[in-house]
Amino acid sequence: MIKTIFSHLKSEWYKYVLEIIVIILGILIAYNLEQWGDTRKNKKREIEILKEFKAALNADLAEMKANIREHENSILSSRIVLKVIKDNLPYHDSLNACFAYTHAFTTFSGRVGPIEQLKNTNLEIVSNDSLCLNIISMYDVAFIGVRNVELAILRDYEQLRNFDRLYFEAYDLEDVSTNKSVPSPFWGTMRPIRFEELKTNPEYAALLRARISNQMGLLRGTYNPIANSLSNLLNQIDQEITKLE
């Protein structure tokens, strides 16, 4: 019996080897197909996540540029008012927009939805390690730094706002600025009620100079560098999406 089995195996061995090879190949093909499907699915998800980051960061960049313009208008307005004080110039309604812009204050929001979603799923879905680190750094370092700087200059802003309540009427939302250098701020213009007294108050000029210094520091040390970093990061994301698609 045993001799018969061995004799059969000896004569038919190639068939069994072929069957084994076919089975192994089938397993390998199925495994590779599954891996290919998973890779394709992960790549599609990665592209979706990168596009979500792109949309959020584009909005953040637009907000940052708007904040920069607002502070630039505020700095220019404060300088115009300081020149009026220094040269003892008379009041003109073109100053109303400038007075209002001295109150400009911004709080950068920073849209954290995509990064929170990514942290709650799997950070490794972004296959480019360098890009992943740059994205995390933007949200966990740069954006937090912006908010800390904004809080640091909040006190001077509040001091000037409280001071101005003694010398100005309420914001006029209907007034159209006659100033050719700065537009009407969206929160309205400010008309002084005791202009001559305001000009001779040294505290007011000191507060304006402090505001200019703080705003210049905010722009040069924080807002402008963050805007540049956002632009660079968006370029990196665009390149990665192009590579994956």
Domain borders along the chain are 2-244
- Mean pLDDT for the stretch of residues 219-236: 95
- Could you give the CA distance from residue 109 to residue 71 in angstroms, rounded to a whole number? 16
What pLDDT is recorded for position 4? 54
Q: How far is CA 194 from the centre of its chain?
A: 41
What pLDDT is recorded for position 161? 80
| Lowest-confidence region among 4-8, 72-76, 117-121, 199-203 | 4-8
What pLDDT is recorded for position 45? 84
* pLDDT surpasses 80 at 189: yes
- Could you give the CA distance from residue 188 to residue 177 in angstroms, rounded to a whole number? 9
* pLDDT surpasses 70 at 196: yes
- Could you give the CA distance from residue 39 to residue 244 in angstroms, rounded to a whole number? 11
Q: Which residue is listed with tokens 């809080």? A: 151
* pLDDT surpasses 80 at 100: yes
Question: In 3-state terms, what secondary structure has residue 13?
Answer: helix
Average pLDDT of the chain to the nearest whole number: 83
* pLDDT surpasses 80 at 16: no
List, for residues 42-62, the tens digit of each pLDDT value: 678 888 889 988 999 999 999
- Mean pLDDT for the stretch of residues 1-15: 53
- Could you give the CA distance from residue 76 to residue 86 in angstroms, rounded to a whole number? 15
